[in-house]
A and B are shown apart, each in its own frame.
Chain A
Amino acid sequence: MTRTTLQVDHIARVEGHGNIHVVVNDGVVETVEVNVVEPARLFESMVRGRDHSEVSYIASRICGICSASHVVTDLKAIERVFGIEPSPRTRALRELLVYGSYLQNHATHLFVLAAPDYLGQPSVFPLAQTDPQLFEQALALKALGNELCTKVGGRSIHPITAVVGGFTHEVSAGEYRALAGKLEAMVPFALATVDVFNSFPVPDMATEGDLLAMVEEAYYPVECSDIACFLDAGISFDASDLADNIEEYEVAHSAALFARVKATKSPYMTAALARVNASWPYLSSNAKVAAAKAGLRPPERNPFKNNVAQAVELVDALERCAGICRRLAENEVPGRSTPPAYTVRAGYAVGFTEAPRGALFHALELDGQGKVVKATIMTPTAQNLANLEADVRQLAQKLAAQGVTEAELRLWVEKLVRAYDPCLSCSVH
Chain B
Amino acid sequence: MNENRNTSSDLAGTAAVPLAAPASQASKAHATAPVPVPPQAQAPSAPPEPALARVVVVGLASCFGCQLQITNIESHLIEVLGQFDLRYWQLTSDGHMPEDFDVAVIEGAVTTEESLAAVLRLRERAKAVITVGACANTAGIPGLASTRFDERLGEVYQHLPQACGTPIAPRSVPSVITVDYAVPCCPIDPFEFLEALGRALYGSNRTLGTRTMCGDCKRNESACFYNQGSLCLGLVTRAGCNARCVNLGRPCNGCRGVSPHANLESAREAVARYGLSVKDFDLRLELFNQTNPVLSGRE
List residues of A whose CB falls within 8 A of some B CB: 10-17, 35-42, 44-46, 48, 50-51, 54, 57-58, 60-65, 67, 108, 112-113, 116, 122-126, 128-129, 139-140, 142-143, 146, 154-158, 160-161, 163, 168-169, 250-255, 425, 428
The reply to whether B3 and A123 form a contact with Cβ atoms under 8 Å apart is: yes
Determine the chain B residues whose CB is within 8 A of the CB of A126 once the complex forms: 10
Q: With CB as the reference atom, state the residue of chain B lying closest to A167.
A: B249
Asked if B112 is an interface residue, CB under 8 A from chain A, the answer is yes
Partner of B187, one of A51, A157, A250: A157
A67 in contact with B92 (CB, 8 Å): no
Size class of B's contact patch? 35 or more
Given A15-B92, A61-B186, A112-B1, A250 and B60 touching (CB < 8 A)? no
**Which residues on B sit within 8 Å (CB–CB) of A254?**
161, 163
In the bound assembly, the distance between CA atoms of A156 and B147 in angstroms comes to 31
> Do most interface residues of chain A lie in helix, strand or loop, or is the interface mixed?
loop
Interface residues of B in 4-35 (CB under 8 A from A): 4-5, 10-13
Q: Report the tally of A-B residue pairs with Cβ distances under 8 A.
A: 181
Contact bitstring B59-92, A, C-beta under 8 A = 1, else 0:
0111111111101101101100100000000111
CB-CB < 8 A to B223: which residues of A?
A: none
Known: A13-B2, A13-B92, A160-B245. 12 other contacts (CB 8 A): A45-B156, A48-B155, A58-B141, A108-B71, A112-B1, A123-B5, A124-B1, A128-B11, A155-B244, A250-B158, A255-B161, A425-B62
Q: Is the CB of B77 within 8 A of A139?
A: yes
Asked if A58 and B2 sit within 8 Å, CB to CB, the answer is no
B163, B186, B249: the one contacting A168 at CB < 8 Å is B249
24 contacts between A and B (CB under 8 A): A12-B92, A35-B163, A37-B163, A39-B111, A39-B165, A41-B111, A46-B144, A54-B287, A65-B65, A108-B71, A113-B2, A125-B81, A143-B75, A146-B72, A154-B244, A158-B65, A169-B248, A250-B157, A252-B159, A252-B161, A252-B163, A253-B162, A425-B62, A425-B64
For B10, the chain A residues whose CB sits under 8 A away are 126
**Interfacial chain B residues near A143, Cβ < 8 Å:** 72, 74-75
Is there contact, CB below 8 Å, between B248 and A39? no
B273 within 8 A of A: no
Q: How far is the CB of B187 from chain A (nearest CB, A)?
A: 6
In contact, B161 and A41 (Cβ under 8 angstroms) = no
Cβ contact of A112, chosen from B2, B13, B63, cutoff 8 A: B2
* Closest 9 pairs (CB-CB, A-B): A64-B65, A123-B3, A168-B249, A12-B94, A45-B152, A46-B144, A255-B163, A169-B248, A61-B141
| Complex-state Cα separation, A116 to B94, whole angstroms | 13
A46 to B156, CA, bound (A): 10
Nearest Cβ in chain A — how far from B188, in angstroms? 10
> Using Cβ atoms and an 8 Å threshold, which residues of chain B touch A158?
65, 186-187
Closest to A136 in B: B74
Min CB–CB distance A67 → chain B (angstroms): 7
Provide the bound-state CA to CA distance between A146 and B190, in Å.
Answer: 13
Decide if A160 touches B248 in the complex (CB within 8 Å). Answer: yes
Q: Compute how far the CA of A140 lies from the CA of B91 in the bound complex, rounded to whole angstroms.
A: 21
> In whole angstroms, what is the CA distance A250 to B163 when docked?
11
